[in-house]
Structures are given as C-alpha cells and as structure tokens.
Copies of this chain bind each other. A is one copy, B any other.
Amino acid sequence: MKSLLKTSLPTKSLLVLLLLASTALAADPLPSWNDTAPKKAIVAFVERVTKEGSHAYVPAPERIATFDNDGTLWSEQPIYFPQAFTFDRIRHLAPQHPEWREKQPFKAVIGGDMKTVLAADERALLELEVATHAGMTTEEYAQLVRDWSVKAKHPRTGRLYTEMVYQPMIELLDYLRANGFKTFIVSGGDAEFMRPWTEKVYGIPPEQVVGSSMKTRFELRNGKPVMVHLPGIDFIDDSTGKPLAINEHIGRRPIAACGNSDGDLQMLQWTTAGTGARFALLVHHTDASREWAYDRTSPIGRLDKALDEAHAKGWTVVDMKNDWKVVYPFEKK
C-alpha cells in the first residue's frame, strides 16, 4: 500500500496539472470581447494557422504579429501620450528656462494652451523634443520615462497613462502568445519612450519594440562608454516607415497586424499581401463615453483611407463601442 501510494502520487499531481491545463484551454481567452464579428475573426484565424496539417498552418517561428501602440494598445487623446511626456518635461524644466515664457510653442505648453500647441508645425514640435532630450544619455532618458510612467496622470481619467491600455487588446496579445505568436510593437512613438514599461504592461520585451528614434552618438566620457541623444530625429516609424522598420528590425513579414489610423495602412498592406492566411485589424474609436470617438477628420489618429481599404478588403474593424465589453483594465472591478 505504501509503495502504491508513493508511485501514484506523482501520477495524481500530473492528472491535476493536466486537468488545470485543459480547463485553462477551455476558458474564454478573450473575455472582454463581445461575441461579435471581430472576436470570431480572431479566433478563426488563430485556429487556422495553428492547426497542424491544415492547409493554412504556419510554423511557430513565422507567427509574427505587429501592433501599433498609440490608439491601438492604449489611448491617444487629447494628445499622443509620448507628447504628454515631453510636455510634462517642459513644464518641469520651465523654471530654469525663463526664455521659454515668451517663445512658442514653449509658452503654450507651459500655459496648457493645447490648441496652440497642436496647431504648431512639425518643426516647432521637434524643437520641444530637442529642448528636453538632446544631450541626455540613453540611460538618463530611460530613467525619466520610468519615473513618468509610474507617476504621471491623465487629465481626464486621473489614471496613470500606463493604466489607459485596452484590456481587450491585452487579452489579444496574451492569446496570440499562448498560440506561439511573437508579438511586436511597431509604433510611430519613440522606441526608447516605450521600452521602459512595455514588458510590464503588455508583456512585450524591449527587443520586440520597434519605433521612431532620435539621432544618437556613442562616446567615451572619462573612459566610460555612453550613448547620447543628439538634436534630431533619426527615423520616423510611421506610414511607409512601418513596413520598412519591420523589414529592418524583424526581417520577416508579419502574418497579423493591428493598427488604428492611416499611419498603419502600409503595415497592414504589407502584412496582408503575403501568401497564406493573414489577419489585419483596425481599432475604430467609436465610444465617446468610455473612451473617445473620432476617425476621418481627427488631427490625432486620423482613420480615413485605412478605413476605406479595410472595408474594401474585408479587414477586421473593431467598433470599440459594440465589440468591447470593457475598455480599460480598471473597469473590470
């Protein structure tokens, strides 16, 4: 009896584990999605490409999925969150820069006049970036981002910006990874702004974050190697920049891509033009009460041409209001 017990104990643990595993598999992997077309399209696609022996089967290493960030994984209103970081930084540094009080767009940022700020041209906005980040080492910059990400609050919700991520999209990331996908961010935002927090918030490690970049120089300071940001943008990871960045960083064509604006159109075109099963998704911001509602004429996250192409080509368009049970994780309670 004793020996029977001894041998059967591991077997029992194994059975319990198997039971737990099968329960986990049976549970709905996308609980925050309504049972509408987008959820069905996601599940159908994942089942097709992961079913061994099926015509559409894709080996795990080729299961690359790319996600835009601003407006696709987290909110982007009333201003892009990376801009909120820069603007917070300017307000923080303002006391040491009296000359900013009369100089636009600094003056508008300091005074909170977002209308003037957002009307400024790209060059003026670039000046803000340069003023706050040039001359800084990559490590100093990363530390500022880390501090900001656990402290700065959104003006409307009073929540951390990193809490204003989309619960349904986080479930989608998890679901894809549970099915052997490698998930990447491919965003117009600065990669160095995202990497300090994407692993914790999205489960996406720094090396799978592709983004825009500042010009940077390597140098020895008192024999210690540092990398220093220079005044200037090196690469803008938006529109045609997205497939180019995918080519440069990932080196394979994604089989799934998710975005929310015209800046994601070329990434979706590139993804869906490959052979075999492909999946393209656009988050359509239709929920003015839980989030924001905007599309064809919005200066932020404009969704116009990409929406037409999505309809024409049968890409999945998420109607945030109708397709998502909750928007943010903090609504779940």
Chain A residues engaging chain B, CB cutoff 8 angstroms? 4, 7-8, 10-11, 14, 61, 64, 138, 182, 184, 191-192, 195, 199, 205-209, 213, 216-218, 220, 224-225, 227, 240, 243-244, 247-252, 266, 269-270, 273
Contacts and interface: CB of A to CB of B under 8 A. Distances in A.
Contact of A11 (B7, B243, B244): B7
Residue among A8, A184, A207, A213 facing the most chain B CB atoms (10 A cut-off): A207
A7 B218 CA distance: 62
7 contacts: A7-B7, A192-B247, A192-B251, A195-B251, A217-B240, A224-B273, A225-B270
Contacts of A252: 195, 206-207
Number of copies: 2
A32 to B, nearest CB: 26
Which residue, of A182, A244, A251, has the highest number of chain B Cβ atoms within 10 A? A251
B206 A251 contact: yes
Contacts of A217: 240, 244
Most B-side CB within 10 Å, residue of A7, A182, A191, A216: A7
B247 A207 contact: no
Closest 5 CB pairs of A and B: A206-B251, A218-B240, A7-B8, A195-B251, A207-B250
B227 A244 contact: yes
A4 B225 CA distance: 65
A249 B247 contact: no
Contacts of A247: 138, 192, 216, 227
A35 to B, nearest CB: 33
Contacts of A269: 220, 225
